Each structure stands twice: as C-alpha cells, then as structure tokens.
Chain A
Amino acid sequence: MKLYCLSGHPTLPCNVLKFKSTTIMLDCGLDTTAALSFLPLPLVHSPRLSKLPGWVSKDGAINLEKELKECSGRVFVDSQPEFCLPEKELLDLSTIDVILISNYHCMMALPYITEHTGFTGTVYATEPTLQIGRLLMEELVTFMERVPKAHAASCWKNKDIQRLLPSPLKDAADVWSWRTCYSMSEVNSALSKVQLVGYSQKVELFGAVLVTPLSSGYSLGSSNWIIQSHYEKVSYVSGSSLLTTHPQPMEQGSLKNSDVLILTGLTQIPTANPDGMLGEFCSNLSMTIRGGGNVLVPCYSSGVIYDLLECLYQFMDSANLGSTPFYFISPVANSSLEFSQIFAEWLCQNKQSKVYLPEPPFPHAELIQTNKLKHYPSIHGDFSSEFRQPCVVFTGHPSLRFGDVVHFMELWGKSGLNTIIFTEPDFSYLDALAPYQPLAMKCVYCPIDTRLNFHQVSKLLKDIQPLHVVCPEPYTQPPPAQAHRSDLMLELQPPPMAYRRCSVLGLPFRRRYERIQLLPELAKSLVPSEIKPGVSVATVSAVLQSKDNKHVLQPVPKPAPVPPSKKRKRVMEEPPEVLNPKPLLSGAVPLEPFLATLHKNGIMEVKVEETADGHILHLQAEDVLIQLEEDGTHIICDNNEPLRTALRDLVLRFLQKL
C-alpha cells in the first residue's frame, strides 16, 4: 500500500492511494497562491496599473519590461494569473481509477487532472460539493475570461533569468508547471465525470474496496472518506469542523478502528478562534460604517459568507447598521445564495428543521427580501445605478488579483475611512495587498477558519485511535512563527508519518488476510472434526476462482467422461488431476505414553534428552534418533526402512488424522 503525495499544501491536498488493486486519488486541490505573483486584472481600465514601470535588472542586462512590472518595491508578472498544479510527473494520471472529493475547495484542480491526461476513471462527490464546486470554477473562469490578456509572459520563467529576479519571484518553485486557468468546456467535461454519492453510501470499487463518504461538518456536502476492504481500513480526514455552523455535524464514530488515518485540512490559523474572529469582523465593520466608511470583504462566493451574513443579520440592529446596504457581487452570487437554501438535507439539524416550518434555512433570504442584501453578477449593469455608500461589499477573489474586488480596491483604497476585512485564510493578506501600495484604507485580518484545530484533533485522535497517522509535514512541527508553541503540532505515539510534495510513502501495514467465499455445495461436502473444544477443522479440496477481486472456492469439477465415439483425438482442456491428499495430522506426542509404547514394542534402551523445543529420544540399541518437537517429529534412522515405518506408525497412533 502506497501513498503518492502530489501536493504538499496541507489544506489543498492531492494524494494518490494505491490500495489492493485500486488507484484512488484523494482530492485535487488547486494552489492559487501563485496568482499573488501576478498583477491584478482590473475590470475597468486602471491608469495606475497601466502606468507601472517595467522591470529591468540593475545592470540593464535583463530587460523584461513587457513581462514584469514594478509596484511599490515589488515585481509582478504582467500576464494572465497562473496557478500551481498538483505534481503530474510522480505517477501516470491515466492509471487513476477514481477520485474522491471531500469538499468544494479541494476540487478546483479537477479539470487539470481529468482532461488531456488520459484519465478514464470516475469522480465521486456529494451533490452540494459538485454544484458549489461548479459555481466556484465557473466564477474563476469568468473572472479570467472577462479580462483577457493579449500575451502570456513566459520569459521570466527561464531558469537563468528567474534566479536573477528579485524575491519572491526568485524563490517561486516549479514555475514551469504553473498553468493559466482552464476553460468552461474543460470544466463541463471534468464535472461530467462526477458520480454523486450520499453520506454513508457504500460504493464498491472493482469489488476490491468499499469507499464511503461521511459528513465532515466543514461545508455544505463536505465529507471525509473511509476506504476499506474486509480486513483493512483507511480513513481520509480532510477539512473537518466540530463547530456548530451551517453544515451537518461531523460524523466521528465511523472513523474508529482505522489502520491508517490520512489527516489533512486542519485550520490554517491555529491561533485564531473563529468566534473571536467573527466578533472582530463585526466590530470592525460596525466601527467603519459608524465612521462613514465602506467595508470591503474579499471572499469566496460560498462557505464562510453564509455564516458572515447570518452573524451580521443578528448583529445589524444592535449595531445601528439597519440602513446600511450589503452588496454581494459575483458572477454566481445568485446561484450561491439560492443553492444554499435548497440543500436542506445537508444542513445542520437546526436549519433542517426550519424547512418544515416552512422557512428558508438561512436568514440571508430575509435580508434579500427586505432589500438589505443585494446581489449582482458584476459591478457593471444594475449595480452601478443602485450603488449607495457607505456600504458593505462582499466580493471575490480573495487573492485580490482578479474579480470585482480589484475595482473596489482601486476605488476605495485611497480613503482612510474605508476598511478591507480579510476573512479567508488562504492568502497572506500582506502579499495580497502588495500591488495596491501605498494604501490609505484600513486593513483588518480576521481569518475565519472553522476547520479542526490541534486541540480538537488530538482529542479526536484519542477517541478514534487509529493505528497510524499520515499527515502533511507542517503538522509535525510548531508553526515557524511560533517555534515554542508545542501545543500547535501533532504529538502522537507512534509519531505521525509526514509527507511533502512528491513524497511516496509506503504505508506501514501489511495485508495479511483475504476473504474467500465457499460455495454451498462445497461447504456441504466438508467433514469437520473437532481438534479442541470449539475448534473444528476440515480439509478442503476445491478450485479457487478469482474474478473482479472476489475469490470463490468451487467444488472440483468431475472429470468429464471421455466420449468413446470420438475418433479424432483432440487436445482437451483437462481439469487438473486431483490426487487424494495425504491426511493432515494434528495433536502432540506425549512423552511418557510414547516411551511406554516403545517399551511394549520391544525397544528398551531409550535415552531421553530434553531440548529447547521438546525432546530427543535416542534408541541406543537401534541407533535411531527421534526428535519430538512442538511442530514436528523426525525419525532419523539410517538404512532401516522397516524400523522407520514401524516407529512412524507408533508415532501416528498418538496423532489425529484429518
């Protein structure tokens, strides 16, 4: 059993598990942080961005004016933003049988894996994961295609040039594997390979293993997976949450008794408590609005935004925000808000029960009805005529490199009254803000990450007791910025196996058993004999048939009588000749009675020597040695076959035959 790690990112995993005869990809997360190296894509022509000076090395030797632009001391690539894909060279992607998706954030690289690689397998995901994942991909594609770039920059990737570039471009790894965004047709093709599953549904893969998604409590339809055969169980935990937010709570019981637990997707900000951050978010928002400023919240179009809106819904009146408009701008804003309301069965109990009242499970429906929350596909069109300030705008993309957020950064960045509040933990907010410097707008970092923290995970592991834990390397040491926080790492016994990008881990357990089915007629023919109380044994002679990873023992077919009339001899597929097997022996030869029997049979002179495993009997007159051991008896007797046979029969008297 092996694990191929195609991504080293702890929360955007992409691993391949080879288990029995199957090759299973666990998630395919797309690391979009590479986009931070690129210039933002403005929706409206930005004189500031278009006037940025090109970069020329100090000695003037390298001139990449067209490709690289300088902005407040940093260099950015002026091209369509690119993303860092999972490793494609570690194994042949066409051999992958299935891809299991745990949540919609962890499937963004799917088109890169399933298209143009020869992939012929199936993707398994829950319905909300598929639908919201599709929205996020659609949004990403729209963001990119709305602002096409005439030419793609690639000279800077040249190794000899790259090493001369200023940081952080100089240090970017695997730049040649960076790719621009996929197209809508690729998205559609990739998603057509998805097969929907429900929680706790057992899906059989080639008869070899069963995979089951379990609720993970992190987002709508998010799941952990159990991959098990009859005798082995691997659990894959990715992006789980024990907090009470909108999704169904995490199912923990079924994770018990795992041989291996692959643990990914813990919180990215272990020191930030989501409740505290939500409080920070609300108070900063309210403070800005009271001061007459606008609030910009760069966020994904699904996920935490539902909780933010719900929290604001409760907070608004008490904070005198009743008349402040909230805008949600995204190409998929409408679908996202509406989808969330129809996946009732995937929601927490509290929200599910609302559906029967009947009420919409999320309060954002009421916000929309009362015109407090308005949503638009983009800043163009209706929005520009209805826009009122001060206001709160939720829009993507949280990297601040593309999407409508770029426009608001240009619009509001100059005023100290406005505030940008970062709630998504995926990007470093300082890096995200770099191309907008100098910035007068206030910046607040309230990362809200509801995934498991180290305290919760150590409790969980204590509870479910897996034999081995596999996790990304960063989880085995404290965060670099807090080197002394020994509580912010996994401390387990035995220590967890750590992986990084391109690792191939041999998982530390050996398969020892395989289940075989016995056909009824064969079973009927067995004659068990009890060898000790409760244990009966029978010998089986049968033909083992293995098909679709299932093993069946069938009765030995009787040799077909040779038709005598046939003249022509033909090569017949002879069934294997069945020999009557020698009987199997069981039992032990007791020393004293055996000596007595020898004596009765005229063997008088026996010298008994005790050994570590049993006894050696030296029949002195006959010069024969009999070794009596726990699992074997040897009669050593040179050139005296009758005596050996006689002695053998004496030994056999004490043993049971099957």
Chain B
Amino acid sequence: MDSDCLSLLPAVCLVLADPKQSPPDDTSLEKLLDWFKEMHSQSNEQVLLQHQPCLKEFISSVCTSKTTDPAILSFTLKLTGLLACTKQGFHLLEVGGLLVCVFEREAWFVCDLWEDASVRSGWLQGLLNMLKHRQALDFICGNGLLKVILQLQNDGSLFVACLANQLLVHILNFLTSSNMTNGSDAVESRESSLSPDWVSVSSEIMNGVVEALSSDDHPRVLQGLRLLSSVPSQCGEPIRSTLWKDVLVPLEVLINRGSESLTQPLMTVLQAAVMTPLLGQSEYKVKELLEAMLGSGNKNESFQCAALTIKLEKCPEVLKRKAIDIVLLPLQCVSAQSQDTAEKMNLALKEQLSKKASCISHLMQSLSSLEELAYTKYQFEGISIHSVTSSVVLLLRICSGHYPSSLIQNNASTRLIGCCKVQRCGLDTLGALSVYEENLNIRKDIFGVLLDYLKSPDSHATVLKKTYQATVSWIAVCSPFPDLLQFISHDLFPVLKKRMCDLRWEVRDSTLEFVTQLTVALNGNSGFIEALHTSGMVSILLSSLADSEGYVRASAVAVVGEAVDSSLHHTVLVCKSNLLEEALKQMMTILSQDTEGFPRRAVVKAFTSWLKGSHLVTAVHPFLSSVLSLGCNDFDWEVKMHTLELAEVLMEKTLTCCPYAVQNFGSSEKELMQALSKLKEFGLFDLLFNSLFDCDRPVCEKACALLLKLRTLTSESADFDSTLVLNVNGNRWGDEVQSRYLNTQQAKGSVCTSDERMDSGLHCIKDISLPMILHILDLDDMQRTLRLSSDHVVNSPRSLMEDILSAAQQSEDNIVDCY
C-alpha cells in the first residue's frame, strides 16, 4: 500500500506546490500529515527525504513562491518539522539552508503570511514536531526563535497562544531530558543541574513567566498561569523547583488579590504542584498557598476553591477538612434550624444566599462536593454524616415546599421551591450518601422525602428520574430490613402504579426502568416478588406493553422480562397472575407487529436473558423458533444482532448440555448430534446462514463468528456428514452455497463437465451436510474481509492522494471548459 502511495507522492507534491491550484481542504492535509507521521514511525531511521527528493523540492518551492496559500505554507511548516525530527533528516534539510529558509520568516517571499493564524500555528507545530534532538534546540536558540515563541505566547489567537505555551513547556522539559545529557550518566545529571549552556535558555523562559504573572494584563496572566500549570507535571528537576521558586512571589500576590476569574487557573496550578514532590518541601509553600486560596471561607471565591480543593488528589488532609467545612456551609446555613449554625454564616455568604442565582449555585457546589466525597466513602471528622444527610433531606423538602417553620433562612427557602436544578443535584447527592451505614437509621426520613417527590404532581420528569435513581440505591442498601417491604408494597407501589399511567411518556418510561432495577436489586427476595404479584402491579406492567410510545413499550418489555425471570420460583404466583402466558403472547405480538425497533429489540433481549437465566424456562422453548425467524427477517439491524446473541446463548446452552469437550468427545458424539438436531429444529442454522449474507456488516460478522465456532465443533467428526443435512434450496444463502459447492466439485474435476450433469448435480445437491457447508464457505476469508471497516477503502492514504490529484485534474478540466 505504501509503495503505491510513494509512487503518487511526486505528483501530489507538484499539485500542492502549484499556486494555481486551490489547496485541498484542511482535513485532507491533516490526514496527509498523519500518513507522513506513520511512515516516519515505521521507517526505522530510514529517511524518507533521501528516497523522495520531491519533498525537498516541494518545501523549497513553497518557501520561495510569491503566491503561496497560507494553508499550504502551514502544512509545509508542519511537514518540515516532521521530516527534521530525526538527526539525519534534520541534517539533510539544514544543508543548503532550507531549514532556515522555512522557519526564518524573514526568509519568506511573502512576509504578511505571518498574519494568518494558521501559519503561525503551523510554524509552532513544525518546531514542536522537530524538537526531538539537541540539534533542533540549537537551531531554535541559535536563530533567535525563542523570542518569537515567547511573543506568540500572548498571541491573539487562542490556538496559537496555547501551542506556544506547549512548545515552551516542551523546551523546558527537553532541557532536562536525556537527549540533552551525554551518555551513561544521564539519570544522575538530570537530578543535579542543567548544563550551563542552557541556563540562559531556561532563565529566559522563566523570566517570561514571572513577568506574565506580575503583569496587569489579564490574558497575559492567564497564559502565564497556563504555562505554569503544565510545568510541574511535565518538567523534571531542576527546572521545576527553580521555576516554582521564581514565581512564588507573584503567585502569592495573585492569590491574595483574590480575583474570581483567576480562581480556576490558580487552582489548576496548585493542583499540578500538589501532585509533585514540591508539596513535601516547606520552602515551596504549596500548602500555604492552597490555604491562602481557601481563606477562611469569607470570600466569594473561597467556595469555588474549596470545591476544587476537595477534588484534588493527594490533597493534605488538613486542607481537605478545611475545604469541606467551607463547601458545606451554604447547605448547612440554608437548612439551619438553630441559631448556632446560622451564626457560622458570615456576611459574604449571607449576601450570596440572598440572591437566587448565587444561592442556587452555592448549594449545587455544596451538594456536588458532598456527592463526590460520598463516592469515595470519605470519613468525615468533626461533622456527623447524619447531620449532613439530614441537611440534604431538609433541603429537598424545602425545594418541594414542605419545610418546618423553624428554618432560619426563610427567605432563601421560598426562592428554592420548585427549583429543579437543586432538586436534581440534591437527589443525586442523597443517592450517593447511601454508602454510609450510619445513615441507615434515618432511612425513614429519607424514604419519606423520596416518596414525597414521587407523589408530587409538580415533580419534573428529570427530577422523578433522579428520585428513582436515589431510591434504588437506598433500597439496595436497606434490603435486609424488614420494614423495607412494607414501604415498597404500601407506599411505593401505589405511587408507581399511578406514575405508570402518567401523561408524560418520559415518566412512564423511567418508572418502568425503575421497576426493572428494583426487581434486579431485590432479586431473590421472595417477599418482594409476592408483593409484586399481589399488589396488582403485574397487570399494570402487562398493560404497559401496549403503551402508545415505543420507548415505553421497550421498557415495559424489559420489566416484564425481568419480572418473569425473578418470579419463576413462585409457580403459584405466576400461574395466578397469568404473567408468563400473557407476557409471551404480547411479546410475540410486539416482535411480529410493532412498528418501532426499540420494543422489538427489547423482546429479543428478554428472550436472551431468560435463556441465560439459571433456570431454563421450558415454556419459552415453543416460541424460540418463531423468535429466531422473526428476528432474522426484521428490518432493524440491531434486532438481527440481538437475535444472533440469542442464538449464541441458545447454542451455548444446548451444546453444553452435552459434555462436548474435545477430550471426551468420542463418547458423547451422539449427544452432540442430538443437540445439533435440536438447534436445527429451532431454525438456528437458517438464521446463521441467512445472517451471513445479510446486508449489514456487523450482522454478517457476528454470524460468521458463530459459524466458525460451529465449524470447530463439527470438524472433529465426520459422522455428521450423513446425518445432519440442511436443505439448501429456495433461500438466499442456499444459492451461494450451491454455486460454491459446484465450483469446488468442478475444481476437483470429479463431477460434472457437461450441462446435463450439472443439472442433475444441482438436483442432487438439494441437501448438503452441515460440516460440508461450513467447509465450502470460506469462513476464514469471509471473517477477514468483514473485519475491515466498511470505509476502509475510502479511508486509505492512497485514496486520499488520488482524491487530491483528481480534484486538481478536475479543476484543470473546468478551466478548459470555461475557456
């Protein structure tokens, strides 16, 4: 493939360098660069430049042309950098001053091309590509390019500025890397110091950072902070500590000034520092700086800082605790019922909580931080998780308009009534708090508030969804308690029944999903299953199978499937509620008649999970062949995929019934035979062969994989030849098999030579044995082709180059036409 491409390369270079041609689009150029990059990594030091002189010509012609397009120039810069990233390549380009010609913008014929941001970004990218060896750094410093890079750090284009930053960090990083040190003592010298040659380079960059941080220009400060945040993680010593020492003073000034817009970038810098050994050394003051950021929780930005501090990995425990104290303040204050909590509230917070927007954002910060802590099961100290959880419960009550009159912050409360944002966030947090066992004794309160939300006619569909999620997590942890069943059957089920008849389909859908999750979470709890059947839930679930909305029908199928699965032990219940019979009847109707794909997919999935279940449902068996044939002929490719998955499970289950492992294969051949005939009865082979020639690639691939499995299994024995035969007449796949069969026979030269005999041959090959079919279909080859993505031809570099060439060709034609 690559040799094809290489042969096209000169022509492509000519097209690209031709100023009369409009340049290909950016994506094509990027793809071309990707291809170069790949070539380079595969070439094992073999230099592309040597074999492809057209590249050098291309580069020099672009640089000397007076009418170069910015996109082509940018491409050339990146390409040059890429070609010069090996010492050899660099050397080849440096000879004759080509490299200088490319990267010295004074050397360009058209100077104002620099004004184009894509050119500047290409220039930086080129240098970044090149900077893989010491010569490259020499080149950058020797030609005074460092100054330009430092200037570009404050470029108007964000991409350029960002790239400049990246390049500077790369240079700093490079100074301490093994490339810069000679020979074996690389590791030691990295730790000790920088070679004096490079001190000036590093100090030039570092001074730039210090200047930026002390500047009054906000964007400059931001850029400085951005660079600074990359250094600790990317650069080694001594650069890291030297730089940190230099910036400590301006950093402190910035932190103490406390500008809200800088909070995030400053925290990113500190976050990067926390991850390094800088944290452990007191002279670098990382901890102090973090503490200063937090303040005492009396500044607006301290809440944001606190929230970010909590997220810090490796955050010192003292700081984390302080941050937690701060971040939880809004939550505690809004839900404060006693004066002492309210006293904690300082002026800044009071003011923030009195405004609706900031009150909501602070509460959300409190809640999401709490949620995050709960995910790690953080052990709070000094704060009881009990009281925090109660605060969340109270906040949720406030948001739904039910709250005690003893609240201190009454004003804030009325503003929060019906606020969906806080409700959703609070419910997420409440769900996460279920990890703390201490909370189990307030489960009554918690279930109470969750139930209120489920009952409330004003609950938004998304809020209900969150309520369900929280309820599931609490039910999962409370399952050992006997009062849970009481709650479910007396309180929860009546609400769920109503919600399954909600006006909004989203609510009906999430309710059904919730019942599915509930059934999964309480699987094996016989009390629950009994309640499900005796409370009339089953009949409503079954009636949901006829919902007007496809998504709801799909969820109903899933929940009915789950209910059947978990009820199988309780034969009496199942018979009484007629669940299985009714479910099968309605599901088959859906599979054969539903106009939407989702419910049909769900039906096949339900059958799959029934089969997977430990107790094989014999009642399902009579339906399997219909499911397989309906699924196979479905319009929706996903239904077909799910049908194949069902087939896979069916194969596993049927074939593992007999111990068909290779070692004792001989003894159980008969059983295998029986299993295969059973599969044939189900119509499994028809499904697999039909799917093999399906129009959807994933379907064919899956079928092919399953057939390969079958082949391994049957190839061991020749006995099947006579016994397990399939009719190949009158279906899609049969024709293909027949023609292949005849081809192989012809190749052998043994059978038909004349037309007559072929006819009779055709006649006699109506039935072919399964192993034979598997053999004549070249499944391995089919699998190989199917594995390639369907666009593999279109996506190849060769096609890319051809596109570029033909586009140029066409434009030439057009010119002629116009003329």
Contact = CB atoms under 8 A, between A and B. Distances in A.
Contacts of B504: 279
A283 B499 contact: yes
B405 A283 contact: no
Given A272-B457, A273-B457, A484 B502 contact: no
Interface in B448-483: 456-458
A320 B540 contact: no
A273 B502 contact: no
Contact of A284 (B417, B458, B501, B543): B501
Contacts of B456: 276
Which residue of B458, B498, B501, B502 has the most chain A CB atoms within 10 A of its CB atom?
B501
Nearest to A289: B501
A429 to B, nearest CB: 15
A483 B405 CA distance: 8
Interface string B524-554: 0000000000001001100100111100000
A283 B503 contact: yes
B414 A485 contact: yes
Contact of A446 (B457, B458, B499, B548): B457
A318 B458 contact: no
Contact of A277 (B457, B543, B548): B457
Interface string B482-508: 000000000000000111111111000
Nearest to A442: B494
Interface in B132-181: none
A318 B507 CA distance: 13
Interface in A300-351: 315, 317-320
Interface in B548-604: 548-549
Nearest to A276: B457
Given A291-B539, A320-B543, A487-B414, A286 B501 contact: yes
A458 to B, nearest CB: 12
Contacts of B458: 273, 276
B310 interface: no
B410 interface: yes
Chief secondary structure at chain B's binding surface: loop
Interface in A427-446: 446
Contact of B410 (A272, A282, A319, A484): A484
Nearest to A314: B503
A278 B536 contact: no
Interface string A269-303: 00111001111101111110011000000000000
Interface in B373-403: 401, 403
B79 interface: no
A319 B407 CA distance: 42
A254 interface: no
A290 B417 contact: no
Contacts of A271: 401
Interface residues on B, range: 20 to 34
Contacts of B499: 283
A318 B501 contact: no
A156 B8 CA distance: 111
Contact of B536 (A277, A279, A291, A319): A291
B354 to A, nearest CB: 14
A319 B501 contact: yes
A283 B457 CA distance: 10
A280 B457 contact: yes
B455 to A, nearest CB: 9
A318 B414 contact: no
A317 B503 contact: no
Interface in A17-64: none
Contact of B505 (A278, A318, A446, A486): A318
A25 to B, nearest CB: 37
Contact of A283 (B401, B403, B502, B546): B502
A486 B407 CA distance: 13
A484 B403 contact: yes
Which residue of B403, B405, B498, B500 has the most chain A CB atoms within 10 A of its CB atom?
B498
A483 B407 CA distance: 12
A486 B503 contact: no
A315 B502 CA distance: 10
A287 B501 CA distance: 6
A484 B498 contact: no
B503 A320 contact: no
A487 B540 CA distance: 39
A273 B501 CA distance: 19
A271 B401 CA distance: 8
A273 B549 CA distance: 26
A283 B547 CA distance: 13
A315 B503 contact: yes
A486 B549 contact: no
Contacts of A286: 501
B690 to A, nearest CB: 36
10 contacts: A272-B457, A276-B458, A279-B457, A279-B502, A283-B502, A284-B501, A287-B498, A319-B501, A320-B543, A487-B414
7 smallest beta-carbon distances between A and B, as pairs:
A276-B457, A484-B405, A318-B548, A286-B501, A283-B501, A487-B414, A276-B458
Given A282-B503, A484-B410, 11 more contacts: A273-B458, A279-B504, A283-B499, A283-B502, A285-B501, A287-B501, A291-B540, A319-B548, A484-B405, A485-B401, A487-B414
